[in-house]
Amino acid sequence: MIGISVLGSTGSIGKSTLDVLARHPDRYQVVALSANSDVQGMREQCLEYRPMMVAMADPDSARVLSRELAAAAPEITVLSGIDGLKAVATHESADQVMAAIVGAAGLVPVLAAVEAGKRILLANKEALVVAGGLFMEAVRRRGVIVLPIDSEHNAVFQCMPEGYEQGLDGKGVKRILLTASGGPFRTLPVEELASVTPEQACAHPNWDMGRKISVDSATMMNKGLEVIEAHWLFGAAPERIQVVIHPQSVIHSMVEYVDGSVLAQLGNPDMRTPIAHALAWPERMESGVSSLNLFEVARLDFEAPDLQRFPCLGLAFRAIEEGGSMPAILNAANEVAVAAFLEGRTGFTDIPRIIGKTMDSLGGQAADSLEVLLEADAQARETAERLLAGPVT
C-alpha cells in the first residue's frame, strides 16, 4: 500500500485527488488530511477515508472538528495550526504528499514534506513562485521526486526527454509552449473589464476550480505564475517559455525540440488526469476521465496573448526577470488584491494596478533565505492593503 497525505483536501484539487484514490483502494491508503476551516467538509472526508491524522489550520475549526469526531471516529488525531500542517506533511506512513493548499500558506508545509524525503505531487504553484530557488535546492539536496499537478506542467513533464534535469540544451529542448485558455474575458470589450463581478470572473469556460485560481485565470496572472513555476521546475529561462492562448484547453502544453518537433499532451480538461498520472508515475492508472472525443472538439485554435488586456502576465515576466524576492512580492500583492476583489472591496482592473504599485514601492532583494522571502511576503501584503485603503490611480 502507498500512503498518501493530502494538504488542502477540502479544496477542488483535494477532492479530485480523493476521487482518484477512491478508485484504487487496493493500492493507496489515505493517511493524513488537512484543511483551513471547512469543518463540515473535513468531517465527511474523515468518515469516508478514515485517515490517521487530520489538521485544521484554523485552531477554532480544529476544536470543533475534534469535538465532532470524538464519538464517530475517536481514533483520528486532530491537530491545528502550522505545526498540524507540518505533521500531516511529514506523517511517517505517507510515501507521497499532495500539496494542494492555495497560496503562499502552502509553502512551509510543502518544504517540510521535501525535508522529510516524501515524493511531492505539487499543485500549490504559489510555493514555487515565492521560493522556487530554495525549494528546488532542497529537492536536489534531499533527492526527492516532484511531479507537477498543474495541468500545463504535467503536460510539459510528459513531453520532456529523460534526463532534462541536467539541462535543456543538452537534450535538444528549444522551448516550452505553455497553453492558456484566456479565461472568461478573452473576448470581452476591454472597457467592460473594470465592471466585471466576482461571479463572472469565477465562471471559467473550461475548468472548475477554486475561487482564487479562477480569478487568476481571468486576469491571466495564473499563466504568469505558471511561467515562474515552469522556470523553476524545468530550469527554463523565461525567454524560452512562450505563452500560447488556446481557448479549447485540449492541448495542455507542448515542448519544442531543436529539430522542429513539437510534442503535445492532449486530453479533456479534468484535473483527475494529471493527478492520476502523478500518483501512478511511472505507471499509468484509470482516473475516471472520459476519452477525448476529437470529432466533438473538431478544431483547435491558437492566438498570441494580449498584454494590454492582461497586464498581470507582463508583471509576472517582470518579477521573474528581476528575480530575488520580487516573485514573492508579486504573489503576495496578487493574493491580497484577488481576496479584495472577491470580497467586493476593489475592482477587477485594480488587481494589476495594486500589484504593479506594490512591486514599484518595495523593490526586490536577494532571496537567500526563507526568512527574507517570508518578510518580503509580509511587507507586500501590508503595502497592498494600504494601497487598497486609499485611492488607486
Give residues in contact with ligand NAD (CB under 6 A): 8-14, 35-36, 38, 57, 85, 100-102, 105, 123-126, 150, 207, 209-210, 212-213, 271
Measuring CA to CA, which residue among 212, 205, 181 is closest to residue 13?
A: 212
Taking the complex as a whole, the smallest distance from the CB of residue 367 to ligand NAD amounts, in Å, to 20
> Is residue 216 a contact residue for Mg ion (CB under 5 A)?
no
Taking the complex as a whole, the smallest distance from the CB of residue 106 to Mg ion amounts, in Å, to 15
- The answer to whether 204 and 181 have CB atoms below 8 angstroms apart is yes
Annotated binding-site residue? 277: no
Annotated binding-site residue? 61: no
- The answer to whether 154 and 274 have CB atoms below 8 angstroms apart is yes
Taking the complex as a whole, the smallest distance from the CB of residue 297 to ligand NAD amounts, in Å, to 20
Q: Which is nearer to ligand NAD, 119 or 272 (CB)?
A: 272
Q: Which is nearer to ligand NAD, 168 or 330 (CB)?
A: 330
Annotated binding-site residue? 226: yes
DSSP 8-state assignment for residue 165: G
Q: Which stretch binds Mg ion (CB under 5 A): 74-82, 149-157, 245-253, 293-301?
A: 149-157
Taking the complex as a whole, the smallest distance from the CB of residue 213 to Mg ion amounts, in Å, to 8
- The answer to whether 178 and 244 have CB atoms below 8 angstroms apart is yes
Rounded Cα–Cα distance for residues 23 and 30 (Å): 12
Annotated binding-site residue? 325: no
Backbone angles phi, psi at 60, to 5 degrees: -60, -40
Q: Tell me if residue 94 falls in helix, strand or coil.
A: coil
Annotated binding-site residue? 382: no
Q: How many CA atoms lie less than 13 Å away from 295 in the CB half-sphere?
A: 0
Q: Which is nearer to Mg ion, 152 or 377 (CB)?
A: 152
Q: How many CA atoms lie less than 13 Å away from 103 in the CB half-sphere?
A: 20
All cell numbers assigned to 388:
487598497
Taking the complex as a whole, the smallest distance from the CB of residue 114 to Mg ion amounts, in Å, to 21
Which strands form 262-266's sheet, in the order they lie side by side?
241-245, 173-180, 251-257, 262-266
Q: What is the dihedral of CA 110, 272, 183, 203, to 10 degrees?
A: -100
> Is residue 150 a contact residue for Mg ion (CB under 5 A)?
yes
Residues found near Mg ion in the complex (CB under 5 A): 150-152
Annotated binding site: 10-13, 124-126, 150-152, 181, 204, 210, 217, 222-223, 226
Annotated binding site for NADPH: 10-13, 124, 126, 210
Annotated binding site for 1-deoxy-D-xylulose 5-phosphate: 125, 151-152, 181, 204, 217, 222-223, 226
